[in-house]
Structure 1
């Protein structure tokens, strides 16, 4: 069914680095959940999700890698509701594995929406979860006649996938030349992701707002100052010369009208350098002034333009992603030097009065590589979600102590997460480790036998090289196992290179070029359509690899021309068949083939 959405779209500016800095211990996934007053019915939740996807098919996308940038591509993958079993915020983006970038799960009374940050931001996630919960409750309680909350202005497909960064970018705006000071870092050994500490604190909105107003500040400023003070208490005296700084995400939709469901956020950095005589009011006043200064629309626009200016730089765009990623990762690490922790306030979720009988609260928390606080509110409950990879929970305890001192009642939420702390055993890792040890053992044993028999190591080097080749081929097969077509291409290149090296060091006979390379290429070329058919792959999933194999298959013609090939039959067959495959793709699948070129080569 045609939805009006593009088949593929580039990542929003704020999401460009996410795929590069994602790893198993910082998944860049955040969870937005709704706690109901009754247990969740999984069948009804699946129906509600299907309805929600009709409104937001933009989320029906996988992340793919181009030559210059990553991009999102729509795929016909059915989103399935699952019971919660994995640790919260577990990996959703797995390189080479084409899966949706979000997951809806349930546990007892809770509906969880977990999403990879490259797909959307907190505002997009809030809209999706609100629609999902609304659909679920209307289906679950038909007799309640719950009113449907419709947006005043229905978002169009084009508006949802709009690149708001580019829309509001202006090359005329000056750069923000403000220097960022290196901030205090939370040092020490970090927990694994499965052991990430999750602390939820529920506070009343009215009493917290009254307390904040008594100081003449907003709730966000008030909580920011409290977090800075809570962290300060855990910093040794010899490291207190540097500021403690928080990264505060900023919803750019508040400054630039946008209905985008992608990422459209910036951030400010708010910090304070503590002294012996510092009191809480000093921190509050400083944070208040920093918010006022840095959230000025002109400064927000300058910061936003700074993000986009780098992306639009012709030199940066022309650098291949495999090279560019190292600079982007270095830039991300350099940028994090000015940040101690993160605080993200998503805002208020609003539902009609009739929904209060069914909804207890909403909550949000995110994966982190250090410490992060997220908050949201519904009715009179504000939920603060701390996530931490620091074994010690002193900062969270300091925060709760400050709430008591400020006479703000709170309750610490029960962390009822079935997968939290669960260490999933991966037998394949053990098998790989065993294989590595066996390769070393075989090489060592060969060396011992060679020396004991001949008192030399003449043939040991061949045995060791053979073990190294076997280890390399198996390891590449393992790490590229999620995408068998990419695996084939890698194996072709690696085996060819290894055979050329063997041929060279054993007195060049040319068998690697005459036979291995052309027959290997033909094998890959013939395997791709078979695998695509058996696995029922979509055109986008195999066309690029078929194109790659066919182009590689034309290389033997060059080798014949420069006189390297001696036995020409395999190379001629390989070149001819590869050329016909290329011609067929451009004649019979011209539109899809050119589309793949455009996606992969988008600068």
Structure 2
């Protein structure tokens, strides 16, 4: 582990909900890319990535689940450059799979940096990509003697990992009691993620800025107003009583000094309720007013403290994650009621003049479950990246028409994504579907045979129950397939419960608790170190499951004590061996064992 960096760290406040609301159609992944004026050399890009990881090793992390919260843990996993083949912003966080939360890929003359939002925000991604591109071009063109981008202060490891939300939290700051109005929602059939619409529009910074200044506003205010109007045009008359509202992410580093490479952002909500008499200037000046009122440090601090106050609430902290998940998902759903779409302006990327020879532009866009606009600028080019899960692209067309009306020249870039729109086949899922059908077919056939032979369904119920048990065991094995050790614990729990039920319904003999549970616990306990050895797992990857298996293996003594167990030898054997394993972990691996406890039980 690199000096100065912690082995694990909690998620930043803004990222707490991301793992809970991530699914296959909203991956919470965003792409930052650099379009070069030459074809990318994959070997040089790999060397550049290796150099970049030396500066930002905290990106070498995986997402793990504790009892109360998710957390990030350092892993010695190498990051490899890949040729782009998957649809943009495809899933990077896959539960139970220990993989890095970012991917660097290339296609023709484009370098892509895709990252899961729980790892970093737009500013952190911009810093990483800038370092990557700089390293690549210096390695690619040693004869050009390209200068390095000099930063006044290089962030220390501690500063990169800083939890800025907690640093600036104050319980003395009052709550924001402002009530949010429900906003109009975009309707229509949603596309699958692989078919997400991506529209990129390039506008000149100078002319766009001149147009904004002619109205006395900033570029961000101008584009926000244009997006609001573009959306409004697609809202039916019977739904125009509600406002059209945008979530605008805010870089909190502009208000609270921080060198954190994690998530440190908040947001404001800017909306407008349209009428038949509304003009573009009306919307523009109202948006300007809202920006002025909401982008005030005291107001920003009040909102930021509101986010952190929930995280620090002792009741919420004590609720197990599996229960907390449903409340957080419900909270995210309720919070989204006041939002129609998202607009995120990342800002300006700056490089020395010599780099203009090789860099054409930068761009950014994000996964979404509705509509999102992201923008960034380099030199005199501002790239607007629309992503949409709505099949109709009228809003994007309305926006480009407004650019023409405002006499802002633009160019719509043709998408060139090799993986876009592809439906990837999942053979494992087909196997499970086939197995499910076979289990159902066997149960139905047994019922038919039973009735035709005896005109009753006496033994059919046993056959159907057997098929159900087989389906449950295989189903759990499939859904937990990415983590064998977790799969073992789930299988022990499931098989024990099923055996207890069988034991009960065929006339209680006690074999389920006398033999199945203790021998099953011993089998799991013995399997953990074997799997860890064969799979070359790091200590952090198996220690918790060994600890868990040892604790489960001590439970039979409780069953003996309350008189449930009749044949005690297997239970005594299981308890004794499990206790010795547990004691050995605390005697020989006390520091590591306690660390695992702290990580998993951190509230």
Q: TM-score, normalization: structure 1?
A: 1.00
Question: Is 2:254 the counterpart of 1:254?
Answer: yes
C-alpha contact (below 8 Å) 2:344/2:375 kept by paired residues: yes
Distance of 1:563 and 1:178 partners within structure 2: 59
Bigger shift: residues 339-348 or 441-450: 441-450
Deviations 1:493-513 (A, max 9, x none): 000000000000000000000
Partner in structure 2 of residue 179 of structure 1: 179
C-alpha contact (below 8 Å) 2:439/2:468 kept by paired residues: yes
Distance of 2:490 and 2:156 partners within structure 1: 42
Partner in structure 2 of residue 107 of structure 1: 107
Question: Is 2:407 the counterpart of 1:407?
Answer: yes
Q: How many residues align?
A: 603
- 1:180 is paired with a residue of what secondary structure? coil
Distance of 2:45 and 2:150 partners within structure 1: 20
Partner in structure 2 of residue 311 of structure 1: 311
- The aligned runs of 1:263-278 (5 Å cut-off) are 263-278=263-278
Residue 202 of structure 1 deviates from its aligned partner by: 0.3
Distance of 1:22 and 1:449 partners within structure 2: 46
Partner in structure 2 of residue 552 of structure 1: 552
- The aligned runs of 1:325-344 (5 Å cut-off) are 325-344=325-344
- 1:545 is paired with a residue of what secondary structure? helix
Partner in structure 2 of residue 70 of structure 1: 70
Deviations 1:65-103 (A, max 9, x none): 000000000000000000000000000000000000000
- 1:363 is paired with a residue of what secondary structure? strand
Distance of 2:247 and 2:407 partners within structure 1: 27
Deviations 1:505-558 (A, max 9, x none): 000000000110011111111111010000000000000001110000000001
Partner in structure 2 of residue 147 of structure 1: 147
- The aligned runs of 1:281-296 (5 Å cut-off) are 281-296=281-296
- 2:579 is paired with a residue of what secondary structure? helix
Partner in structure 1 of residue 363 of structure 2: 363
Residue 301 of structure 1 deviates from its aligned partner by: 0.4
Deviations 1:243-270 (A, max 9, x none): 0000000000000000000000000000
Question: Is 2:480 the counterpart of 1:483?
Answer: no
Residue 3 of structure 1 deviates from its aligned partner by: 2.3
- 1:266 is paired with a residue of what secondary structure? strand
Residue 563 of structure 1 deviates from its aligned partner by: 1.1
- 2:24 is paired with a residue of what secondary structure? coil
- 2:184 is paired with a residue of what secondary structure? coil
Distance of 1:25 and 1:388 partners within structure 2: 11
Question: Is 2:373 the counterpart of 1:373?
Answer: yes
Residue 278 of structure 1 deviates from its aligned partner by: 0.5
Residue 188 of structure 1 deviates from its aligned partner by: 1.6
- 1:437 is paired with a residue of what secondary structure? helix
Deviations 1:215-240 (A, max 9, x none): 11000000000000000000000000
- The aligned runs of 1:128-277 (5 Å cut-off) are 128-277=128-277
- 1:270 is paired with a residue of what secondary structure? strand
Partner in structure 2 of residue 597 of structure 1: 597
Deviations 1:14-49 (A, max 9, x none): 000000000000000000000000000000000000
Q: TM-score, normalization: structure 2?
A: 1.00
Structure 1's unaligned 5+ residue stretches are none
Deviations 1:146-205 (A, max 9, x none): 001121001000000000000000000111111100000001210000000000000000
- 1:417 is paired with a residue of what secondary structure? coil
Distance of 1:97 and 1:404 partners within structure 2: 47
- 2:532 is paired with a residue of what secondary structure? helix
Deviations 1:357-416 (A, max 9, x none): 000000000000000000000000000000000000000000000001111111001100
Partner in structure 1 of residue 587 of structure 2: 587
- 2:39 is paired with a residue of what secondary structure? coil
Residue 576 of structure 1 deviates from its aligned partner by: 0.5
Deviations 1:52-75 (A, max 9, x none): 000000101000000000000000
C-alpha contact (below 8 Å) 2:164/2:260 kept by paired residues: yes
Deviations 1:421-461 (A, max 9, x none): 01101111111111111111111111111111111111111
- The aligned runs of 1:79-90 (5 Å cut-off) are 79-90=79-90
Partner in structure 2 of residue 25 of structure 1: 25
C-alpha contact (below 8 Å) 2:2/2:57 kept by paired residues: no
Distance of 1:128 and 1:65 partners within structure 2: 26
Distance of 2:505 and 2:282 partners within structure 1: 73
Partner in structure 2 of residue 383 of structure 1: 383
Partner in structure 2 of residue 322 of structure 1: 322
Partner in structure 2 of residue 354 of structure 1: 354
C-alpha contact (below 8 Å) 2:26/2:193 kept by paired residues: yes
What stretches of structure 1 move > 6 A for 4+ residues in a row? none
